[in-house]
Amino acid sequence: MEPTPEDMSLTSALMTLQRWMHGTRSVIARELGLTVQQIELLCVLHNHKPSFGELAGLLGCDKTNVTGMVDRLTRLGLVTREADPRDRRISRPSLTDEGGAVGERVREAFVRAVAERWSGVSPRDRARLARLIDTDRV
Amino acid sequence: MEPTPEDMSLTSALMTLQRWMHGTRSVIARELGLTVQQIELLCVLHNHKPSFGELAGLLGCDKTNVTGMVDRLTRLGLVTREADPRDRRISRPSLTDEGGAVGERVREAFVRAVAERWSGVSPRDRARLARLIDTDRV
DNA sequence: TCTATTAGTTGACATCCTCGACTTCTTTCG
DNA sequence: CGAAAGAAGTCGAGGATGTCAACTAATAGA
């Protein structure tokens, strides 16, 4: 399957987008005194109680990594471990009230940044963009 | 500026995309025995000889960080420091032949992954997607 | 039951990231 | 010109991230 010119320009757009997202997330994290990975974890835990293994999959990192991340966020009072009543091996990280509030601020800030970056694009095109991005996911 | 429903679904699409890109880049890096940041650096240096400070800006990290990253890539034979003849404070990291070849493989792999992910979308829509992503950059 | 598998943790080690302090070189301005 | 101010890169300390192999505890399967 040969890459077409459209694939090339799409790739280049994605690289630019990648840098923009990284920068945006860094700023948001820094304002809250957290790391990018930590705010990502808080967002993933929104309305969601995965096990450590599932959480690792969602974050795209090793499960041995998640242990330490949850430890540090627990120390900050943002996350707790909840036991699974059906399987005593499993414990499910979940947000504390404060962790939920911080996650909410993160999502708000990100939506605001997105709205601002695409403010020159019509709502119709923004919806189209969202559909095109997620196309093969559906 | 209130976020609209379009902004929300765009944000959600971007978060999914972010995870896909992270996973894709991790796989590419791992296959080459490098880290995500290292392949990013190799890509940024393609046809480009920034100073350390400019490189830090492009990578979205601190310049004190770049010193170590360039050191490690130099040890791997992928990057060298070139002196700037106009200003002796400045040295410009640049790709060795091998570094250029590795960067080329990274770009190829990424384009292939992009082409595959959006293979269900018409070339016309892929071009439209690229334009919409980069809209306010132009 | 007895074995194999799964979930989470730990320790070792490399990398990433940030901060403040430092050296060297360049620019500015008195 | 020469001293002060600024800019570029480096270094060291310290925390966070990421990977690997090895480990414990609990469950599932034969």
Would residue A77 be called left, alpha or beta, if left means φ above 0 and alpha means ψ between -120 and 50 degrees?
Answer: left
- Per-domain boundaries in chain A: 17-137
Confirm whether any atom of chain C, the nucleic acid strand, is less than 7 Å from CB of B114. Answer: no
ipTM for the whole complex: 0.91
The predicted pLDDT at position A4 comes to 87
Measured CA to CA in angstroms, residue A53 lies from A34, A58, B13, B36 at distances of 23, 9, 24, 22
* pLDDT computed for residue A93 by the predictor: 97
Q: Provide the 10 A C-beta neighbour count for residue B101.
A: 13
For domain B18-137, the CATH class is mainly alpha
List bases, strand C, within 7 Å of protein CB: 6-12, 15-21, 24-27
pLDDT at res. B117 = 96
The fold adopted by the segment(s) A17-137 is Arc Repressor Mutant, subunit A (1.10.10)
Q: Which pLDDT score, from 0 to 100, does residue B136 have?
A: 59
pLDDT of amino acid A1? 62
Q: Is the CB of A94 under 7 A from strand C?
A: no
User: Which amino acid, B106?
Assistant: V
Note whether B121 contacts A137, CB cutoff 8 Å.
Answer: no
pLDDT of B138: 44
* Average pLDDT per consecutive 10 residues, chain B (138 residues; last block may be shorter): 85 96 96 97 95 96 96 97 95 97 97 95 94 76
d(CA A80, CA A71): 9
Cβ <8 Å between B136 and A120: yes
> Is nucleic acid strand D under 7 Å from B26's C-beta?
yes
Give 10-residue mean pLDDT values along chain A (138 residues): 85 96 96 97 95 96 96 97 95 97 97 95 95 75
Name the closest nucleotide to A71, judged by C1' and CA: C9
pTM of the predicted model as reported, rounded to 2 decimal places: 0.92
Per-residue model confidence (pLDDT) at position B1: 63
Give the pLDDT confidence score for residue A136 in this predicted structure: 58
Is there contact between A91 and strand D, defined as CB under 7 Å from any strand atom? no
- Nucleotide nearest A88, from its CA to each C1': D26
Give chain A positions within 8 Å (CB) of B133. Answer: 10, 13-14, 16-17, 129
DSSP single-letter state for residue B136? G
Give the one of B17, B60, B119 whose C-beta lies nearest to A22's C-beta: B60
Closest CA to B90 of B49, B45, B135, B31: B49
Question: What's the pLDDT score for residue A27?
Answer: 96
CA of A68 to C1' of C11 (A): 13
Beta carbon of A51 within 7 Å of strand D?
no
Q: What is the pLDDT of residues A46-70, one digit of tens each?
A: 999 999 999 999 999 999 999 999 9
* Buried/exposed A67-106: b ≥16 CB within 10 Å, e otherwise: eebbebbeeeebbeeeeeeeeeeeebbebeeebbebbeeb
Judge contact between A14 and B137, C-beta under 8 A: no
Q: What pLDDT was estimated at residue A138?
A: 43
